[in-house]
Amino acid sequence: GSITIVKTVVGQVPPAEWVYTGDLGEFRLPAAGGTSEPFTGLVADDYTITETAKPGYVPSVTCDSGETGVGSVTVNLQPGENVTCTFTNTAQPGSITIVKTVVGQVPPAEWAYTGDLGAFTLPAAGGSQRFDNLAAGVYIVEEDVVFGYEAAVVCDSGETGQGGVNIDLQPGEAVTCTF
């Protein structure tokens, strides 16, 4: 018999390939997905295949012989049976929270922001706004200039800027940026 592994990715492709271990040995499939060469000449037996998890992705696996799993599956291979198992990983949405802190005197008007999250404001004395269910990608957030104030921004994911920032949001990531 034989077992073939198919990799499918829904959403953003991760930066590194997918790693599998188990009774078929260690093997890898491309980050964007693909199909393994069939593992042939297998005797009837139980074969467990496990995919190494990646943060921000929800795994599932379904085989055309009926077996299913989350990050792992055990195939009960029958004599002469050819089984294909598809591992699917779905990139999870992330979130970005923008926090405004004010050092010194509070300005007379709200703080205004523009960019990929849309136009929004935060209270003059400071505050925060969270944006949920965001697809992975780069998000630009700019704070409108207020005369007499110097703007700097730092994000807990490492990005920094002066008056604006490019946030590289990864699948499932929750980023907070403080202006």
Separation of alpha carbons 79 and 2, rounded Å: 9
Q: Is 16 exposed, middle or buried (0-12, 13-18, 19+ CB in 10 A)?
A: exposed
Neighbour-count burial for 124-146, b at 16+ CB within 10 Å, e otherwise: beeeeeebeebebeebebbbeeb
pTM listed for this prediction: 0.78
Instruction: List pLDDT tens digits, range 4-45.
Output: 999 999 999 998 999 999 999 999 999 999 998 899 999 999
How many other C-beta atoms can be found within 10 angstroms of the C-beta atom of residue 69? 19
For the stretch 41-65, pLDDT in tens is: 999 999 999 999 999 999 999 999 9
